[in-house]
DNA sequence: CGGCGACTTGAATACTATCAACGTCGGTGG
DNA sequence: CCACCGACGTTGATAGTATTCAAGTCGCCG
């Protein structure tokens, strides 16, 4: 059958969970709270990397943590919007479901990322957030949070700033989707991921992909086969190592400088002083013939 | 379910107010000051279609109008961020410039749209807004506006709501870019445009494109030739009429239901009971062979 | 072990980009 | 006035990239 159908969740209780989430009032009741972790406003501002308002009454605003197992949904499409979510640990994906039921991956949030902004407008979530690993999520009731925004001016500004940053991120995503070749998309994806891992204190050189090739492809507007082929090509070129989901970044510069087709006639003047790495790649139809002219990183 | 339209405030005077916004000169809500037109907070909320806080001190917050001629830039990339902008009349495009200087069109704002949100985060604009026609733009100094948000809670919430809506719009754009065929992209583009024109009181059946084929292509992730070919194909199919930039929508339903490739094996079972319109299109390689199976609008 | 999902790789096809030629429209200057 | 030009648009031929279809491998779990 078509592999585009929605993935089957491994969680045995996910079905009942989904049902429970649609009723408006069920949120907190539906989530199991293993471990009674709470965060105050300062913790949250640190997580989001925004300046914390110095208020002496941290105790007045406490926000609950909830744990999710891999495969569980933090929120689903159409669910009534009550709260924003901050990722304290773990890895997730957010997806849109089109009219035929196939997934469109929008982002891969991790620690410090804010989820659920899309629900503010219509008071219903427009996308769905799924845990790719076990996750610890902080619940930010929207009413509470916007009230705090009115109390602390910096917080309101910071919230605008975070939303603005998300907007810019998506704009860049749009530019990338419509202007880059498959190789460039995958290269940028790896570069971004490495950078984010690095910022979180993990290794930016060796890391595990938490998502399938299919999810990467959906995110980048490619098929899983194209993603797989491109990773293999980068591997043979010596840019990266690939062992299932473990990626090793060997030549970050090559990944960063790999770009898309120039508009015009660079292909006439292909010189013979071509690095073997490029030749090999071109031979496999994995890069266009004139790549040699625009891949300075390959020398 | 969720109503897509934002709630319109039932102000008793809203009808005449809306009318007065079309003429350049205005009487009650337009304030002449330094030879320019000014608007108060209520005007702005009406333009943005958000509930206006009822404050008796409208005079305290006045926002200046500025006129731009076609081709002028409202803001440029890298420019320091001071203000948001609201389109009072006219048509614009917002673009990103990539590292090689080529444009990526992000949106085509028109009356009632908010510009400049992308500048909040880094305090510099990430994109550039260009007038496609003569425009009347309202300047919203960010400091003033966010201060007002703290005074009027509804305004703060409305601002979050508008930003959330923009985010959702861009998410849907991402889904469209990476999942739809060229024909479906163009069809949706026309449908959306028709809908927006209709909401503004213009005809949704006949309208003028304010942008070039190149700009449409950039917006949709296509080349100008593909856009042109697709418009010609829709024309021959009887979906639309095309006369340079004047588009007439003849079969809105056909445009709405035209979609992308189904994942699986629909092409084996192509029946012979095919409408001639589809056959003609397939013959020109303008629609995939199996279109007949998924284009119910063609009967 | 068997089965399933994820992944890889190959071959053929289909879609869109590219290149090129031509047509149209509006403005400008000889 | 007309010739010319440049920007925009259309259409055709060709090429190239990414998808689709099709095996086959690997690792994991019941």
Task: Give the one of B98, B157, B179 whose C-beta lies nearest to A175's C-beta.
Answer: B98
Instruction: Please report, for the domain that includes residue A259, its CATH number.
Output: 1.10.10.10
Q: Which residues of B115-130 are buried (b: 16+ CB within 10 A; e: fewer)?
A: bbbbbbbeeebbbbbb
Q: Please tell me what DSSP assigns to residue B42.
A: H
Q: Is the CB of A132 under 7 A from strand C?
A: no
Distance from CA of B150 to the nearest CA of A (A): 5
Closest nucleotide to A224 by C1' from CA? C7
Examine the domain organization and report whether B186 and B160 are in the same domain: no
Examine the domain organization and report whether A187 and A127 are in the same domain: no
Query: Is residue A158 scored above 80 in pLDDT?
Result: yes
Distance of A236 CA from D23 C1′ (whole Å) = 23
Closest residue of chain A to B96, computed from CA coordinates = A175
| CB-CB under 8 Å, A178 with B221 | yes
> Domain boundary residue among B167, B189, B205?
B167
User: 3-state secondary structure string, A61-102?
Assistant: CEEEEEEECCCCEEECCCCECCEEEEEEECCEEEEEECCCCC
State residue A270's pLDDT score: 38
Q: Which domain holds residue A245?
A: 180-298
pLDDT range class, residue A282, cuts 50, 70, 90: low
| CB-CB under 8 Å, B126 with A171 | yes
Q: Taking residues A31-60, what's their average pLDDT?
A: 77
- A172 within a domain of the structure (yes/no): no
- A1 within a domain of the structure (yes/no): no
- B226 within a domain of the structure (yes/no): yes
Closest C-alpha to B81, from B119, B51, B35, B107: B119
- B81 within a domain of the structure (yes/no): yes
Closest residue of chain B to A124, computed from CA coordinates = B2
Distance from CA of B34 to the nearest CA of A (A): 31
- B3 within a domain of the structure (yes/no): no
State residue A205's pLDDT score: 96
Closest residue of chain B to A159, computed from CA coordinates = B160
Q: Which residues of A195-224 are buried (b: 16+ CB within 10 A; e: fewer)?
A: ebbeeeeeebebbebbbebbbbbbbbbbee
Examine the domain organization and report whether B133 and B17 are in the same domain: yes
Examine the domain organization and report whether A155 and A191 are in the same domain: no
Examine the domain organization and report whether B111 and B32 are in the same domain: yes
| CB-CB under 8 Å, A168 with B121 | yes
- B188 within a domain of the structure (yes/no): yes
Query: What are the residue ranges in chain B where pLDDT is below 70?
Result: 1-35, 55-60, 260-299
Residue B253 and residue B259: Cα distance in Å, rounded?
12
Render chain A in DSSP notation, one character per residue: --TTSPPPP--TTHHHHHHHHSSTT-HHHHS---S--EEEHHHHHHHHT-PPP--S-GGG-EEEEEEE-TT-EEE-TTPBP-EEEEEEES-EEEEEE-TTS-EEEEE---TT-EE-GGGTTTSB-SSEEEESS-EEEEEEEHHHHHHHHHH-HHHHHHHHHHHHHHHHHHHHHHHHHHH--HHHHHHHHHHHHHHHHHHTTS-SSEEE--S-HHHHHHHHT--HHHHHHHHHHHHHHTSEEEETTEEEES-HHHHHH-----SS--STT--S---HHHHHHHHTTSS-TTHHHH-GGG-
Q: pLDDT tens across A54-81, in order?
A: 765 655 689 999 999 999 999 999 999 9
| CB-CB under 8 Å, B175 with A96 | yes
Q: What percent of chain B has pLDDT over 90?
A: 63
Instruction: Please report, for the domain that includes residue A106, its CATH number.
Output: 2.60.120.10
Examine the domain organization and report whether B206 and B272 are in the same domain: yes
pLDDT range class, residue A23, cuts 50, 70, 90: very low
Question: Which residues sit opposite B75 in a β-bridge?
Answer: B129
Query: Is residue A222 scored above 90 in pLDDT?
Result: yes
- The mean of the pLDDT values for chain B is 81
Contacts of A106 in chain B (CB under 8 A): 171, 174-175
Q: pLDDT tens across B175-200, in order?
A: 999 999 999 999 999 999 999 999 99
Q: pLDDT tens across A78-112, in order?
A: 999 999 999 999 999 999 998 888 999 999 999 99
Q: How many domains does the structure of chain B reveal?
A: 2
For residue B39, give the H/E element and its range: strand B36-40
Examine the domain organization and report whether B154 and B188 are in the same domain: no
Task: Give the one of A102, A118, A153 whose C-beta lies nearest to B150's C-beta.
Answer: A153
Which of B171, B173, B226 is best to mutate for the A interface (most A CBs within 10 A)? B171
The helix/strand/coil state of B244 is coil
> Domain boundary residue among B136, B167, B198?
B167
State residue A99's pLDDT score: 83
pTM above 0.85, yes or no: no
Contacts of A3 in chain B (CB under 8 A): 263
Examine the domain organization and report whether B56 and B20 are in the same domain: yes
Examine the domain organization and report whether A201 and A106 are in the same domain: no
Rg (CA), chain A: 22
Contacts of A122 in chain B (CB under 8 A): 2, 4, 165, 168
Examine the domain organization and report whether A188 and A223 are in the same domain: yes
Distance of A192 CA from C17 C1′ (whole Å) = 28
| CB-CB under 8 Å, B159 with A160 | yes
Examine the domain organization and report whether B94 and B189 are in the same domain: no
| CB-CB under 8 Å, A120 with B171 | no
Q: Is the CB of B285 under 7 A from strand C?
A: yes
State residue B282's pLDDT score: 60
Measured N-to-C along each axis, helices A182-199 and A153-179 cross at an angle, to the nearest 10 degrees, of: 150
- A112 within a domain of the structure (yes/no): yes
> Domain boundary residue among A167, A191, A206?
A167
- A3 within a domain of the structure (yes/no): no
Examine the domain organization and report whether B132 and B217 are in the same domain: no
Closest residue of chain B to A151, computed from CA coordinates = B150
């Amino acid at each position: 059958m078509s592999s585009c159908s929605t993935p089957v969740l491994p969680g045995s209780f996910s079905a009942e969970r989904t049902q429970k989430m649609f009723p408006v009032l069920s949120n907190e009741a539906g989530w199991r709270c293993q471990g009674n972790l709470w965060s105050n406003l300062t913790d949250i501002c640190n997580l989001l990397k925004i300046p914390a308002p110095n208020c002496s009454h941290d105790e007045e605003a406490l926000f609950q943590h909830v744990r999710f197992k891999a495969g569980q949904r933090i929120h689903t499409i159409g669910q009534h919007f009550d709260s924003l979510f901050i990722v304290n640990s773990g890895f997730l994906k957010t997806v849109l479901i089109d009219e035929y039921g196939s997934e469109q991956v929008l982002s891969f949030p991790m620690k410090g990322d804010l989820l659920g902004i899309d629900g503010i407008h219509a008071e219903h979530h427009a996308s769905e957030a799924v845990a790719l690993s076990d996750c610890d999520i902080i619940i930010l009731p929207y009413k509470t949070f916007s009230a705090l925004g009115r109390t602390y001016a910096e917080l309101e500004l910071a919230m605008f700033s975070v939303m603005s940053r998300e907007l810019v991120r998506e704009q860049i995503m749009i530019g990338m989707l419509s202007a880059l070749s498959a190789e460039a998309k995958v290269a940028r994806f790896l570069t971004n991921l490495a950078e984010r891992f690095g910022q979180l204190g993990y290794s930016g050189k060796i890391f595990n992909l938490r998502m399938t090739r299919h999810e990467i492809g959906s995110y980048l507007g490619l098929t899983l086969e194209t993603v797989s082929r491109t990773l293999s090509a980068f591997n043979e070129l010596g840019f990266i190592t690939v062992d299932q989901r473990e990626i090793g970044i060997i030549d970050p510069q090559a990944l960063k400088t790999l770009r898309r087709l120039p508009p015009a006639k660079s292909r006439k003047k292909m010189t013979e002083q071509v690095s073997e790495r490029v030749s090999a790649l071109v031979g496999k139809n994995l890069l266009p013939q004139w790549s040699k002219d625009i891949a300075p990183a390959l020398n």
